[in-house]
Amino acid sequence: MMNNGTVGPMPKPVFNTLMRYFKVQATNPYDVYNFLPNFQEETKQKLASFIQASPEEVVLTHNTTEGINFVTSGLDLKEGDEVVVSNLEHPGAINPWRLKQKRYGIAIKEVPLGLPPKSVDEIVGSIAAAVTSRTKIISLGHTVFITGLITPLKELSRMAHEKGLLVLADSAHGLGMLDLNMKELGIDFFASSPYKWLGAPAGIGLFFVRKESQDRLWPTIVTGGWDTYKDARKFEAHGQDADALIFALGEALDFQNAIGRRRIERRIKALAGHLKQELRKIPGVKVHTLDDPYLSGGLTAFSLDGVDPAKIVDYVREKYNIVVRAIGNKEAGTYGVRVSTHYYITVKDIDNLLEGVRTIASHRA
């Protein structure tokens, strides 16, 4: 499975925890509302510690898109106010702003980034150049799904805060891929999907709201008591949750903590580095992802001149039982194959993929 960028597999302890608590819900509903909620806070504390944040800044959502919508819906913006985005945003990150544009007349300024950009300064400089007196927020993909770029959030946040701007990061792939530190990144809003790289079940997400920015955001979904909270819990007052998902998330956090977040990130980047190095040796291959480990992670995208990426996807699945995916679009020059190199992938798996690409490359007309 080399497509964690869509949905990743669950470790056995996570799956077993998920089934255990679904069984509780199915056989003893009394515990669902009387007993289990007492332990949900423990998972939030684990999650906060995992990303170097305070539990009062962490919200459990259903996925990255929901967290992004919390910002686009909850932020007071008026006609003419600007949001700065890049040309590499996921549909789940750009369409909430387009809805806001239709409803309230805000302006979306799209900044083209290099494919790939060459440096931190190029990225920060391009975004900074688009800022005007009407700009209120910068909204960017952190772990860019098309090219595998890791956007330099720390430097972008520093620039944005110097200009009095907020920053929203779409980090769908960040949780479980990178050793995250919210205090160091300085981000205002951050959304991620634990079911990609963390090994949690689909249906649960992370939304981080920096303490200093919480008063800038209205809740999108509320129920009784929402206005009694003085921290990020006011964004989580949405009624009954699926407890099994929450406890399975806690198990996934324990699983990665046992291995070590930094060790996981190092291995992911080392595997990706091997893949990129060997891909560049194949005639006709263009790698869309930077070699710089500060600006790249576990997603690697590439294309082969004259070959439809779907052909490569199908071939390596049939020949080696390797799962990768096609991504991007031809007009933008981003159409290619995307590979996820998680810590459980072996060098042999990568070498099999490379063998498949070489075979197809050698048979091009």
How many CB atoms lie under 10 A from the CB of residue 270? 14
Q: Which residues contact 312 (CB under 8 A, 6 or more apart)?
A: 304, 324, 326, 337, 356, 357, 360
CATH number assigned to the domain comprising residue 337: 3.90.1150.10
Reported confidence tier of residue 174, pLDDT bands at 50, 70, 90: very high
Residues 97-120, mean pLDDT to the nearest whole number: 94
**Number of domains forming the structure of the chain:** 2
Residue type for 226, please? Answer: W
Question: Per-residue b/e over 158-170, b at no fewer than 16 CB within 10 Å?
Answer: ebbeeeebbbbbb
Percent of the chain exceeding pLDDT 70 equals 100
Is residue 213 within 8 Å of 75, Cβ to Cβ?
no
C-alpha angle 49-52-58 in degrees, rounded to nearest 5: 70
At 25 the pLDDT is 87
Q: How confident is the model at residue 30 (pLDDT cuts 50, 70, 90)?
A: confident
The answer to whether residue 97 scores a pLDDT higher than 70 is: yes
User: Would you say residue 364 has pLDDT above 80?
Assistant: no
Do both 93 and 185 map to the same domain?
yes
Question: Do residues 246 and 102 touch, judged by C-beta distance below 8 A?
Answer: no
Higher pLDDT, 326 or 363: 326
Structure confidence at residue 11 as a pLDDT band (50, 70, 90) = very high
Is the pLDDT score of 365 beyond 70?
no
DSSP reduced 3-state for 66: helix
The pLDDT score that the predictor gives to residue 33 is 81
Residue 228 is assigned to a structural domain of this protein: yes
Q: Could you tell me the CA-to-CA distances from 177 to 57, 88, 100, 186, 252 in Å, in that order?
A: 21, 20, 31, 19, 13
Is 154 contained in some domain?
yes
**100 token code pair:** 């806001």
What range does the domain containing 292 cover? 261-362
pLDDT at 340: 97
Burial class (CB in 10 A: 0-12, 13-18, 19+), 129: exposed
Mean pLDDT of the 114-130 span: 94
Verify that 70 and 28 share a domain, yes or no: yes
* Residues 271, 153 share a domain: no
What is the average pLDDT across 86-106?
A: 96
Residues 121 and 78 in one domain: yes
Residue 1 placed within a domain: no
pLDDT exceeds cutoff 80 at 237? no
Cα Rg of the chain, angstroms: 21
In the three-class reduction of DSSP (H, G, I as helix; E, B as strand; rest coil), residue 109 is classed as strand
Band (pLDDT 50/70/90 cuts) for residue 37 is confident
Q: Do 172 and 110 have their domain in common?
A: yes
Q: Is residue 4 part of a domain?
A: no
127 in any annotated domain: yes
Report the chain's mean pLDDT, rounded to a whole number: 94
Domain match, 234 and 294 both: no
124 and 52 in a common domain:
yes
Which residue among 236, 258, 280 closes a domain?
258
- Answer whether residue 275 shows pLDDT above 70: yes
3 domain residue, yes or no: no
Last residue of a domain, one of 203, 233, 258: 258
Q: Residue 39 has what pLDDT?
A: 79
**Whether 135 and 48 share a structural domain:** yes
C-beta separation of 142 from 86 below 8 A: no
Query: Do residue 232 and residue 251 come from a single domain?
Result: yes
CATH (domain of 40):
3.40.640.10
Q: What average pLDDT score do residues 56-62 get?
A: 95
pLDDT of amino acid 32: 81
pLDDT attached to residue 178: 97
Domain boundary among 258, 290, 307: 258
Q: Are strands 107-111 and 285-287 parallel, antiparallel or unpaired?
A: unpaired
Q: Are residues 226 and 280 in the same domain?
A: no
Say whether pLDDT at 301 is over 80.
Answer: yes
